Amino acid sequence: MTKGKIVNLEGYVIRLADYKDNDAMITFVTDKDTYSFLARGIKKPTSKNRASMALLAKSKLSLIQTDGTYVLKESQPLSYPDAKDDFSRSVSLMFIAELCSKMIQGEEAEAIYPWLDATMSAIETIGNDSLSIALIFLAQVLRIEGYGLNVDGCVVCGKKKDIVGISLSDGGFLCREDLEYESQKRDVRILKILRYIFRCGPNDIARVSFERKECKFILDDLTKNLEEMTGIKLRSLELVKKI
């Protein structure tokens, strides 16, 4: 007889950490919270739980809870990401996984989960640009975590017209009158993309595809600002630059 309480969950694997020879510690996000648990033997090729514990796999699982700790009992994969021998897709998935593992805490899981669910569905849709999808996911995670940009008007005066740049330190758009430095100026196209990615809904993710150079430029901007504000560095960005 199994001792301990059985907890049934559905969600995504967002982090795996080696633990002993064939075991791993898993971080799992649901639509309500995040959980950490021990998954015994999942690194064995014969493990029945191996597929459902892949990074960014969506799975149903049962955990045994004993004295505040969780151990995987059984699991069922619902879907798992396929890079399809596509370097861009593979790197985008790595970026999304790292962002999740470093940014999602228990209290933010409920707000971020619908975006993660929509993001993974969009990436698996044939023809969608994975880097554009990763960019939108980043923007929405930043918004939910309180590090998003105000894209409704100038952050200095509130003017909604004649927007020509952004101030990352002030957190949003700048009009021509309040632009202090040439480095703050942005192309109209970049400003339109920024407005879209911070204002769209989960159902809008798969409706757009931006140029790769535009995605990389904005990703670099937003992640540098995140690092300056929080100290969080996304190492997968170095691979993004090679796409």
Residue with the bigger pLDDT between 83 and 237: it is 237
Identical fold, 5-79 and 87-240: no
Of 43, 38, 40, 42, the closest CA to residue 27 belongs to 38
Question: Average of pLDDT values for 188-210?
Answer: 95
Please state the three-class secondary structure of 37-64 as a single string: EEECCCCCCCCCCCHHHCCCCEEEEEEE
Looking at residue 1, its pLDDT comes to 44
- Domain-wise residue ranges, the chain: 5-79, 87-240
Per-residue pLDDT band at 21 (split at 50, 70, 90): confident
Number of residues that make up the chain: 243
What 3-state class would DSSP assign to 85? coil
* CA gap 241, 224 in Å, rounded: 13
Q: Could you read off the pLDDT of 63-114 as tens digits, one per residue?
A: 999 988 999 999 999 998 887 778 889 999 999 999 999 999 878 899 999 9
Is pLDDT of 48 > 60?
Answer: yes
Q: Give the pairing type, strands 23-29 and 69-79.
A: unpaired
87-240: CATH number: 1.20.1440.120
Looking at residue 210, its pLDDT comes to 95
Mean pLDDT value across the chain? 93
* CA gap 223, 229 in Å, rounded: 10
Q: Is the full-model pTM beyond 0.85?
A: yes
Is pLDDT of 29 > 50?
Answer: yes
Would you tell me which CATH number, out of the four given (2.40.50.140, 1.10.3720.10, 3.40.50.720, 1.10.1200.10), belongs to the domain 5-79? Answer: 2.40.50.140
* CA gap 216, 167 in Å, rounded: 18
